[in-house]
Amino acid sequence: MVAVVGCPHGPSAVPPTLRRLPGPQLIVAARYTSSPVGPYLEMAVVEPARFGSRPGMCATTMVVDSAESRAAGRGKWGFPKELGTLNWFRAGKERSLRWEERGAVIRWTTRGPLLPAILPFVCLQQRADVPLRIPGLARGSARLASVEFDVPAKDDLSYLTGRHLGAHASGASLRIGEGRPPPGFASSSE
């Protein structure tokens, strides 16, 4: 499930090698039933960013319930994955994902027809001392979702609290490509 948060005015956690772009942030709740590291749950916040003139999205907060996913995500792509307790609930049409340590909950209800969806994207992440440009492709079926995100008032993510429009994907596949330094990185780091 992906919720679109229209142009929030909260603090940016984009790494210093990248620049935050104006635009909506995304809140992601995912349940991977099959992956190279096994099944796991994930919650993420993604911000628009750029490296030079190259735009993309940067995951600035990520929590997973799998040590293997955390290690692979950090080591291979520079995703800022941390390990946490995540619980997935489903009651009728409502689904939710709760991050226990932070008290963050994302709830959503689907509506409308199930439609085919293909979403190419580019992530820009910082791995050790190297920024990476990571191509990706999500493919599956999706329907609209009414989303509510709730987090304690003193949390860094509290500016995202509220109701948002989203999309819930069913039977989706996610392919993340190899991360490479963006063109021009060598000249900009000398």
Task: Decide if 38 is inside a domain.
Answer: yes
Q: Which structural domain range is residue 64 located in?
A: 2-183
Q: What is the rounded CA–CA span in Å between residue 142 and residue 126?
A: 30
**Whole-angstrom distance, CA of residue 142 vs CA of residue 167:** 6
Give the pLDDT confidence score for residue 185 in this predicted structure. 67
Residue 168 counted as domain residue = yes
Q: b/e map of 138-148 (b: 16 or more CB within 10 Å)?
A: beeebbbbbbb
Q: Is residue 189 one of the residues assigned to a domain?
A: no
Supply the mean pLDDT for the chain. 92
Is residue 39 situated within a structural domain?
yes
pLDDT band at 126 (very low <50, low <70, confident <90, very high): very high
- What are 135-189's pLDDT values in tens digits? 999 999 999 999 999 999 999 999 999 999 999 998 889 999 999 987 766 634 4
What's the total number of domains in the chain? Answer: 1
Task: Report the CATH number at residue 82.
Answer: 2.40.400.10
pTM for the whole thing? 0.92
Instruction: Express each pLDDT in 8-38 by its tens digit.
Output: 777 788 998 899 999 999 999 999 999 999 9
Q: Is residue 7 part of a domain?
A: yes
The verdict on residue 190 lying in a domain is: no
Note the pLDDT tens digit of each residue in 100-119.
999 999 999 999 999 999 99
